[in-house]
Amino acid sequence: MAHRIVLKDVDAGYGAVRVLHRVCLEVREGETVVLLGTNGNGKSTVMKCLMGLVQVDAGEVFLETDGQRDPATAAAPVGRQHERWGAADAGRGPRPHVRP
């Protein structure tokens, strides 16, 4: 079974501040990926989009298995993808300052 996580032409940000502009990323099963950049370049925002903690304004974020998108993941409401993908928030609990 082949898996991949895909961000396709993603735009996202916080209120009027746009942080991600048409970001594309594909991570295939078994790959290790590192996001590098100086402060303020969107590394954390990419991860928050993957976990559903930040609303994607344009583009797509999905999990694909054997060429088929996981419909439960694709339809998961903001803030719930991490439950399907097995991500955690390091025990910090709810963060009211992060809004969908």
- Domain-embedded: residue 93: no
What's the Cα-to-Cα distance from 9 to each of 38, 41, 83, rounded to whole Å?
21, 16, 23
The domain tally of the chain equals: 1
Please say if the pLDDT value at position 53 is more than 80. yes
- Considering the domain boundaries, does residue 92 fall inside one? no
Residue 72 belongs to domain spanning: 3-85
Question: 64 or 21: which carries more pLDDT confidence?
Answer: 21
Q: What is the DSSP pairing of strand 3-14 with strand 17-28?
A: antiparallel
Q: Is 89 left (phi over 0), alpha (psi -120 to 50) or beta?
A: alpha
Q: Where are the strands (E) in the chain, listed by range?
A: 3-14, 17-28, 56-65, 68-69
Residue 22 has pLDDT above 90, yes or no: yes
DSSP 66: T
96 within domain boundaries: no
**Which pLDDT belongs to residue 1?**
65
Amino acid code (one letter) for 13: G
* pLDDT for position 68: 86
Q: What are all long-range contacts of 24-30, with beta carbons under 8 Å and residues at least 24 apart?
A: 28/2, 28/3, 28/4, 29/2, 29/3, 29/4
For the domain that residue 25 is a member of, what is the CATH number? 3.40.50.300
